[in-house]
A and B are shown apart, each in its own frame.
Chain A
């Protein structure tokens, strides 16, 4: 158990809908990262938050948004869902934000299926 909790584990929704994925980082970790992994693909970095502020942005679509709350949990919002958004969405956390804090701990992921 990495200590990172993601809910829900599975989500099935229709095209055009909006969903929210939730992540609770490890106790004491200030950084949260979101990743998308499509079937048999690598991990695509979406976005990073550090202590409530956006820190780095990757290949995140405009239809997607995220935030980190004062209690450090984070939510990833996906809207106007398309079939191609079906993927495994991982959240990871680490202690800090700099390159010296590179060990990130991953949650078990949320498997999103868009039908």
Chain B
């Protein structure tokens, strides 16, 4: 089967850096994505890692280690608007089977 683990809640201070981890167990792993979802809103795509290493997009970076079955999302210079849930999603199988984690609720405090 497939499983993903990520922390359920994280609190961080405005302007700081926060890292949200995701560990996974799956067969036929393709890659790892991150999505952001504000309360009552639709998930929006943040990043995708198909290869080991760091992908940077503005204040957000995502990292993947295939050998460790581990990835993380790094948010820098936190802003209040970053308060949201963050989901990691694992792609596997020949037809892009996707499994989402249960999400990490990030609260940014002043």
Contact = CB atoms under 8 A, between A and B. Distances in A.
Interface in B50-74: 50
Interface string A96-114: 0111111111111100000
A98 to B, nearest CB: 6
Given A44-B100, A99-B31, A90 B43 contact: yes
A25 to B, nearest CB: 14
B48 interface: yes
A43 interface: yes
Nearest to A55: B95
Given A41-B102, A42-B103, A43-B43, A102 B33 contact: yes
Interface residues of B, number: 23
Tier of interface size on chain A = 20 to 34
B50 to A, nearest CB: 7
B95 A106 contact: no
Interface of B: 30-31, 33, 41-45, 48, 50, 87, 89, 91, 93, 95-103
Interface of A: 2, 31, 33, 35, 41-45, 48, 55-56, 58, 90, 92, 97-109
Sorted nearest first, the 9 A-B pairs with minimum C-beta distance are A42-B102, A99-B30, A106-B42, A43-B100, A56-B95, A102-B48, A103-B45, A56-B97, A55-B95
